[in-house]
Structure 1
Amino acid sequence: MDNNVMDNNAMGNNLIDNNAYPNLKDLLILFLVVLLFMFGTGVVAAICQLIPNVRITPLIQSFQNMVAYIVGMLATIWYAARKSRKRQAESDTLGLGFNKFPGWLIPVLIPGALAMVVGMDRLSTLIPMPDSVAQFFESLFKNDVFSVMIIAVAAPILEEIFCRGIVLKGLLQNYPARKAIIYSALFFALIHLNPWQSIPAFFAGLFLGWIYYKTRSVIPGIIVHAVVNTTAVLSMFLPKEQQDVLGLLGTPAYIVVFIAAMVVFSAVCWYIQKKMPSGNP
């Protein structure tokens, strides 16, 4: 049988038990839990900045933002993992997705992630960003060590554990793989809480979800996520007028780079599909 047909059958008819966590109803509640924990830790961080006679430098503020983000995400992961564990069969251990995967994926995924960055570069500009929102983002993330750690290290690890290792794992047990991956990508986009990040996050979430489906490991997704986020971090260290690197190329050059990137990304997807047609490592 043709590999593509086999993969389509596998994605459309994967084992469904309809009792795993989360289902779509659970996702709505889980989204509210994310808001609760992230808002709560943000409020605590803001209160700490109001302590009298304590000078809060930008570096200390970034450290507080990092701690608030990590605590909020860990609390969310704890909540989701606890819910998931209650629904697991007695013979099934929860785990968080740190499973083995084929080593050849790493050198394949890195150029694929870079190509995806080029492809998604203009998605966030589909909705014009008000100056006030741009200034707000600039106040949250500065070019210091703690902002770098949030974006390039903490976010890839914690968000992949949460969105793929728990959320997508459960969705794959409740729905056909295509639907599960789309649902998880939508959820991943929503928890970014703003359209300028949510639009590219949705498309990135589709690829990250597909990679998780193929490997059943969060580690490849962490690698891709880290590469994507690190490119954003690197741009933060450039002068503001030079941060839109691809935009500075001009339209003709950008089109050439975009087409080349899409060729690379398509080749990466084709190669992974060829090597892992059934969705199992």
Structure 2
Amino acid sequence: MDNQAYPNVKDLLILFLILLLFMIGIGAVAGLYQLIPNVPTSPLIQSFQNLVAYTISLLATIWYASRKSKKSQPDSFSLGFNPFPAWLIPVLIITTLAMTVGMDRLASLIPMPDSIARFFDSLFNNDIFSIIMISVAAPILEEMLCRGIVLKGLLQHYPARRAIIYSALFFALIHLNPWQSIPAFFAGLFLGWVYYKTKSVIPGIIVHAVSNTTAVLFMFLPKEQQDYLGWLGMPVYIVVYIIAMVVFIAGCWYIEKRMPANTR
């Protein structure tokens, strides 16, 4: 274990506050645009502002965390864009699709007030900028931060299981609401395990992108069909759920069997 590696658990709390400050500050600056007289506004412009504010906030946080990581380990800093076996790509895609079925009802464990549901609906306008933010920007930037920097550092402080759990908790926390945080935590466990096995953020980006894009596709359906249960109906959903859990377990087993033993 390397006690100098960044971050440890205490560092994570500070890093979360840093991210929150960037989000609030950059969001406030973006919001000033709305106050300028005679400046055109539209849902598309709002989506573009959300994309820019989100991207800058995450990049600023990655920059901060990268500086801290470089300072603690100047000779071994890397964001983790390392090569990995090509066979892993289709396995990850299939396993992730199965995982999305398994996580389908997690967000509904906490009832969502109508006002919060309307707020979330307003954030996604079914346009190109919203899709880019969810399906492209979030997978790349969040994996760079949560796995490429955070989990890499945690693995040098704690046993793998604890490090993966801590990184999943951080990943859940940065979603800032329980309806996204609950599924994000369980997804974060899988993403952390994949990073631990591969030492690369690219597989995690693939998993993240497939999961987020699946959610985006559901948003184009009528409100009552925006999850697997609503889309398939109860009898079919139960069958699909069981098959998905078998596929997910088989996918994890196959990855565990095929990947070389982790030595770092």
1:24 aligns with 2:15: no
Contact 2:140–2:205 at 8 Å: present in 1 too? yes
How far residue 229 of structure 1 moved from its aligned partner, in angstroms, is 0.2
- Tell me which of 28, 37, 49 is aligned to 1:52: 37
Q: Is the 8 A contact 2:104 2:228 kept in 1?
A: no
CA–CA distance in structure 1, aligned partners of residues 83 and 52 of structure 2: 30
1:109 Cα deviation from its structure 2 partner: 0.3
The residue identity in structure 1 corresponding to 2:194 is I
Which TM-score applies when normalising by structure 2? 0.97
Q: 2:192 aligns with which of 178, 189, 209?
A: 209
Structure 2 contact 228–237 (Cα < 8 Å) conserved: no
Q: Secondary structure at the match of 1:174?
A: coil
Structure 2 CA distance for aligned equivalents of residues 238 and 51 of structure 1: 35
Does the CA-based 8 Å contact 1:214-1:280 persist in structure 2? no
- The answer on whether the counterparts of 1:216 and 1:280 sit within 8 Å (CA) in structure 2 is no
Runs of 4+ in 1 over 6 A off after TM superposition: none
Give the distance between the partners of 1:279 and 1:69, measured in 2 at CA: 34
Shift of 1:245: 3.8
1: distance between equivalents of 2:21 and 2:124?
21
Alpha-carbon distance between aligned partners in 1 of 2:225 and 2:177, rounded to the nearest angstrom: 24
Task: Write the letter of the residue equivalent to 1:82.
Answer: R
Match of 2:162 in 1: 179
Question: Which residue identity is paired with 1:196?
Answer: W
Cα distance in 1 for partners of 2:263, 2:190 equals: 16
- Are positions 1:33 and 2:18 aligned together? yes
C-alpha displacement of 1:280 = 5.7
Q: Which is further off, 110-119 or 252-261? A: 252-261
Deviations 1:130-183 (A, max 9, x none): 000011111111100000000000000000000000000000011111100000
Name the counterpart of 1:10: none
The secondary structure found in structure 2 opposite 1:94 is coil
Question: CA deviation digits over 1:187-223, x for unaligned, max 9?
Answer: 0000000000000000000000000000000000000
Deviation (angstroms), 1:29: 0.4
Shift of 1:247: 2.4
Whichever residue aligns with residue 236 of structure 1, its letter is M
- 1:1-281 maps to which residues of 2 (within 5 A)? 16-88=1-73, 90=74, 92-276=75-259, 278-279=261-262
Q: What is the CA RMSD across the aligned residues, in angstroms?
A: 1.3
User: Matched residues, percent identical?
Assistant: 75
Once residues 149 and 267 of structure 1 are traced to their aligned partners in structure 2, the CA distance between those partners, rounded to angstroms, is 31
Give the deviation of 1:64 after TM superposition: 0.6
| 1:90-121 CA-partner distances (Å, limit 9, x unpaired) | 5x231111001111100100000000000000
**TM-score, length of structure 1 as denominator length:** 0.91
Q: What runs of 5+ residues in structure 1 fail to find an aligned partner?
A: 1-15
Shift in Å, 1:277? 5.1
Count of aligned residue pairs for this structure pair: 264
Which structure 2 segments of 5+ residues have no match?
none
Q: CA deviation at 1:248?
A: 3.7
- Are 2:104 and 2:227, in contact at CA under 8 Å, matched by a contact in 1? no
- Does the 8 Å CA contact 2:6/2:154 hold for their aligned counterparts? yes
Q: Which residue of 2 aligns with 1:8?
A: none
SS at 1:246 equivalent: helix
**Partner of 1:12 in structure 2?**
none
Three-state SS of the structure 2 residue aligned to 1:178 is helix
Distance 1:247 1:277, change over 3 A: farther
Residue of structure 2 equivalent to 1:11? none
| Cα distance in 2 for residues equivalent to 1:131 and 1:74 | 32
